Chains A and B, each alone.
Chain A
Amino acid sequence: MKRKLVSLVLCGIMTVSLAACGGGSMAPAAAPSEAPAAEEAAPAAEEKADEAADTAETPAADSAAGSTITVMASQDWVEDSEQELGKKFEEETGIHVDYQIVPADQYQDLLLTRLNSGEGPDIWGAQSGFALKTTYNVEENAVDLSNEPWMSSYSTFSAEQTGVDGKNYGLTYYDTTTDYYMIYNKKLFEAAGATVPTTYAELLDTCDKLAKSGVTPIYEPMADGWHLLMMWTGNGQVHEKNNPGVIDKLNRNETTFAAEPEMKQAIEQLKELYDKGYFGDNALSDEFADAEGYMASGEFAICMLKPGAIKTIVASDQNTEGYTEDDFGIFLLPICDNQYLNIHPTGPSRFIYSGSPNIEAAKQYLSFLLEKDNVQYLIDNAADVENIPVDVGQTPEYSKTTLDFLGSYDDQHSGMVLQDVVLYFNEQWMDINADLAALFIGDMTSDDVLKGIDDRRTQLAEAAGDPNWK
């Protein structure tokens, strides 16, 4: 009996040990006596990278031929056109590019697990912005790209978002020149007698009319676990406009999300839209990848998408109604009556893993992507990409609808999205989305959701040693 108990205890210990080993190489670094070693790790990685850079354009670059680099990214971050460019890159250099595309709801956990266990892919994708330092520990996990030749053509605005302490670690390879706005079907609006809403009350009225006409008002793909929150944060600039200084107060820990009534109003309005059935019956299992198809089918009237998606909707196989680009328009989602244009310079970016044995080949790949012809190829062939934040002489493909829409908002009527200005927010993106889903199904209240955001901000700030949280 005792022997059995001892075996059981040992089995249990083994289980705990597996979890303990999950931190991988971080374990020794966390010990106080070895703290300096951890601090030295980043420069060491940089030295390695610099050494590799010194040998660029030399036989070292040629020796990369025949090797394989892995590019790990979330679903929808790698366009088909990029994969075509990857083939061209292989033809030119002999370096094979292995794209590892991970479902969006699993991506961040998987990436961080790999980075934290010292087994990162050669090139990894992540959202740029504050979280690079706190969540991704970019100074240790990525190679300094400040001296890459393409830096002179890279948007300064984007470089600020992929950089930390004056060094640039990434390349935003995504159309961040526009953000997600509400794309709507003009024909369905017309048939329902609905108008473009500018206040929340008008939005309810519009959705009501659309629903009564037999159309599902809004396609909201919640299954991916990242899209829904944009419907709040994309309109988050309204909080600063209505309550000047609130963002600074949040970042100085002088207020909380739970203490701001307008935050609660925003998420309760989203819940109201869900409860009224305006997101349809299957929002919890709807996927972002299907958004353009469903918009093309005429089954849904509105979806939060990039303006470039209009081209994809029109080109979709499901466009049996013969829609043209002129049949679609753009408006701002008036959560909390927001009418300020959302600006979002951060976006999916590429980083080279500091522990990669293929740093030089990975740098070659990024440089290749930014050659003028290749940038143009991406813009011309990726339907929802109108431009990317580099200037290599390419010709952007903004539609007239996009230009008219963006042109109707001046600087006074635009602002940054919430996740780009509030600290310790973007890091919990997937958690907040899960909490919002829990709110919708009645497992949480709006107060619980806001308290959850505050608690996680505290947890992250304390872990980062932020003096404002001491």
Chain B
Amino acid sequence: MLTDEGKIFIVEGYIMQKAKVYPWYFVIISLLVYTVFSVVPGIMGICYSFTDWSAYSPDLHFVGFKNFIEVFSGDNDYLRFITNTLIFTVITTILKTGLGLLFAVALSRNIKWKNFHRGILYLPSILPILVTGLVFTSILNPKTGFLNNFLKAVGLGFFANKWLVDPKLAFGSVMAVDIWRGTGYIMTLLIAGILAIPNIYYEAASIDGANAWQRFKYITLPMLRQTLAVTIVLNVIYGLKIFDMVYALTNGGPGHRTEVLYTSVYKMMSKGLYAEGTTISSVLFIFMVIIGFFMVKILTKDEVVE
């Protein structure tokens, strides 16, 4: 019952909550550590991308935007690496989120062996990425791999392919393995989100005659928005930083078909061309900020601001 007295209580409660917020100087130490070990080296990294820093010479010279011009000149493969990274990010994010949501909805219901199914789907996520990559390199070998041999054995030999070396399939294979590995993790987060939705909404909707699709569309999806926002941001950041899966499965090949930004950063750094490496890294940083900014803005547009 709302009364004047009640309103006062709420206001008082709000004031009490506010009073519980810790003073700003509590974060000084952690902020200092973070600044020294993360922010400063990060800014230094960006600064180095304006130099000719390399392992070949102890001298360091300011070269302006030369390294950035090289990245965007189109004379080399960098633009393709950027495109590959973005394609990887978009496709894996959509499919991991879509499949994760599908499995989460299915496994939130009371089905038989629910936890067993959940465990099986989550299992790939706990395997180290490099191990997954190496195992799949063997499974997808066109001549001796398990997949092609299995397809041939069951009479589906026409589906057998050169999964990791056919230029048309290689990038798709890498993404498929990554989706296989990452979907279970997204599913787990979404299950937690779904289970947090009070059952009373579903009961009320059922009484009003809503079918399963309507309950999903008007209850599950809107109430999962925050969880979905988190999973999508996690997927996008992971996708932009992808390295180990590509490195283990194809090392950027065949040719440079599956090369992404971080595999090229790694190769630049290992060649001692540090400035070029940090330049690509800085470009990635700019991408992450731009994409992240708009994503957070879109996904939280209906969020109540204090």
A interface list, Cβ under 8 A from B: 1, 4-5, 8-17, 19-23, 26-27, 29-32, 34-35, 38-39, 105-106, 108-113, 116, 134-135, 137, 223, 225, 281-282, 284-286, 427, 431, 434-435, 437-444, 452, 455, 459-460, 462-465
Contacts and interface: CB of A to CB of B under 8 A. Distances in A.
Contact of B255 (A4, A435, A463): A435
| Candidate in B255, B293, B297 with the most chain A CB atoms within 10 angstroms | B255
B228 to A, nearest CB: 16
23 contacts: A1-B296, A9-B289, A13-B43, A15-B288, A16-B46, A16-B278, A16-B284, A17-B37, A17-B38, A19-B45, A20-B42, A29-B58, A32-B58, A116-B269, A135-B271, A135-B272, A137-B55, A284-B254, A437-B255, A438-B256, A442-B167, A443-B256, A462-B52
B41 A282 contact: no
Contact of B300 (A1, A111, A281): A1
B252 interface: yes
A5 B293 contact: yes
A121 B93 CA distance: 39
Given A8-B288, A105-B251, A113-B269, 6 more contacts: A8-B293, A30-B274, A110-B270, A112-B271, A455-B76, A463-B54
B273 A16 contact: no
B296 A23 contact: no
| Candidate in B56, B164, B256 with the most chain A CB atoms within 10 angstroms | B56
Contacts of A10: 34, 38-39
A282 B148 CA distance: 13
Contacts, number: 187
B165 A19 contact: no
Contact of A285 (B143, B251, B257, B269): B143
B53 interface: yes
A225 B270 contact: no
B58 A15 contact: no
Q: Which are the 9 A-B pairs with shortest beta-carbon distances? A: A438-B255, A20-B45, A13-B42, A19-B281, A17-B42, A284-B165, A17-B41, A109-B270, A463-B56
A437 B270 contact: no
Given A30-B60, A35-B59, A11 B237 contact: yes
Interface of B: 34, 37-46, 48, 52-60, 75-76, 141-143, 162, 164-165, 167, 237, 241, 247, 251-257, 265-267, 269-274, 277-278, 281-282, 284-285, 288-289, 292-293, 296-297, 300, 305
Contacts of B277: 19, 22
Given A1-B297, A5-B293, A15-B281, A285 B141 contact: yes
A423 to B, nearest CB: 13
A458 to B, nearest CB: 11
Given A225-B251, A282-B143, A463-B57, A4 B296 contact: yes
Contacts of B45: 16-17, 19-21
B278 A20 contact: yes
Nearest to A32: B60
A463 B58 CA distance: 10
A116 B254 contact: no
A440 B41 contact: no
A20 B44 contact: yes
A135 B288 CA distance: 32
Contacts of A437: 253-255
B270 A438 contact: no
A8 B38 CA distance: 13
Nearest to B251: A105
Contacts of A465: 56-57, 59
B71 to A, nearest CB: 13
Given A285-B162, A441-B254, A30 B267 contact: no
B255 to A, nearest CB: 3
B288 A11 contact: yes
Nearest to A285: B165
Contacts of B164: 285
Contacts of B42: 12-17, 20
Nearest to B256: A438
A15 B241 contact: yes
B252 A434 contact: yes
B56 A460 contact: yes
A440 B166 CA distance: 11
B272 A112 contact: yes
Contacts of B297: 1
A282 B38 contact: no
A434 B59 contact: no
Contacts of A223: 165
A17 B278 CA distance: 9
A424 to B, nearest CB: 11
A12 B288 contact: yes
A39 B59 CA distance: 11
Contacts of A225: 251, 253
A457 B48 CA distance: 22
B257 A443 contact: yes
A14 B46 CA distance: 11
B114 to A, nearest CB: 35
A225 to B, nearest CB: 7
B138 to A, nearest CB: 11
Contact of A16 (B52, B162, B282): B282
Contact of B55 (A1, A16, A26, A111): A26
Contact of B58 (A30, A109, A444): A30
Contacts of B76: 452, 455
A438 B258 CA distance: 11
Contacts of A427: 271
A282 B142 contact: yes
A73 B247 CA distance: 19
Contact of B305 (A1, A35, A135, A286): A1
| Candidate in A14, A282, A285, A441 with the most chain B CB atoms within 10 angstroms | A285
Contacts of A281: 142, 162
Contacts of B60: 30-32
B90 to A, nearest CB: 18
Contacts of B39: 10, 13, 17
A285 B55 contact: no
